[in-house]
Structure 1
């Protein structure tokens, strides 16, 4: 019951719909990973990026109200390509595009069952995300099944969105 109440609060504070959550908080969560899976270089580590970040993602994750705070804070830009499907995006990685993308946002079964076993993605530094685990909803705390490899030894992503989408 408590989890349902927390989920309802999150849904009602969707930043894309402008219902109250600050962009800063959303970006902290997104920066913490929200299922952003690292490929190639992973997440930025510098206050000023040497190049634009490249993100392969779903529509809805590139809204300026979500990205602007991050790009302003790190003095960078994000180049992105929108998915047409999970299989299409996984096939891009299989075809050699692993070095192109810094951040990949796919549905988690693909990461656990195909991309990780095929070495198409790299694991995230778990220590870097440990401070955020205590702030997560109980049902998403580490080791959250869908953020981990099948053997639960490797952090492949983080929960970053639990609300509904405008277009569903």
Structure 2
């Protein structure tokens, strides 16, 4: 997309800001028969009690939470074996490839996850959770982390990511200090083709 033409949150997040859930023990639907307890390594914003309670009630499986400090720390813990008790993790969609390449995940049987049929099409078709042979190791579930929050009395129309580069708002805007989104957003606004931006982000 050319600079100045407006880059929507939906477009950029569809490719670079999705999250994924990856299981080291297989599909969740088999959890009831396989285990009585599972350990989920996740971010503190994801482990809401209402989510956990519903899962536990449906499956009879007790969920223990292990909170993450960073993506790199999560990968290192798995790589060194210090997180051998984890059953499910939350890698970023663009970071899933290194877990798959390192052989840290088990293949997921999507036939045992019926709700997968309700996912966005872009989540169903992304190759970012597959290995070279097409086996799937993670499930995208999160659309994005960077909503645009703004005051309607300060904007004549709904802002998009080109607004971040508008001199009119210099010193008045902020965004999360995270290279994954920052590089992708800047690239799209500058006119770098979308497939090139996303390829750069996954390398």
Q: Please classify the TM superposition score into its range, dividing by the shorter chain length.
A: 0.5 to 0.7
Answer whether contact 1:39 1:98 (CA < 8 A) is retained.
no
CA displacement, residues 41-91 of structure 1 (integer Å, 9 cap, x when unaligned): 553515466431101111221101222111111122211111101110111
Query: What is the rounded CA distance, in whole Å, between the counterparts of 1:91 and 1:136 in structure 2?
Result: 30
Do residues 139 (structure 1) and 122 (structure 2) align? yes
Number of equivalent positions: 132
Aligned partner of 1:159 in structure 2 is 140
1:63 aligns with 2:48: yes
TM-score by length of 1: 0.65
8 Å contact from structure 1 (residues 51, 76) kept in 2 = yes
The Cα of 1:133 is off from its aligned counterpart by 4.6
Structure 1 position 163, deviation (Å): 5.0
Give 3-state SS (helix, strand or coil) of 1:55's partner. strand
**Inter-CA distance 165–76: structure 2 relative to 1 (3 Å threshold):** farther
Structure 2, unaligned stretches of length 5 or more? Answer: 1-7, 11-18, 148-175, 177-203
User: 1:43 maps to what in 2?
Assistant: 28
Consecutive unaligned residues of structure 1, counting only runs of 5 or more, are 8-33
Q: Which has the larger radius of gyration?
A: 2
Query: For 2:103, which of 105, 119, 133 is the aligned residue?
Result: 119
TM-score norm. by structure 2 comes to 0.55
1:126 Cα deviation from its structure 2 partner = 3.3
Structure 2 SS opposite 1:116: helix
Q: Which has the higher helix share?
A: 2
Cα RMSD after superposing both structures: 2.8
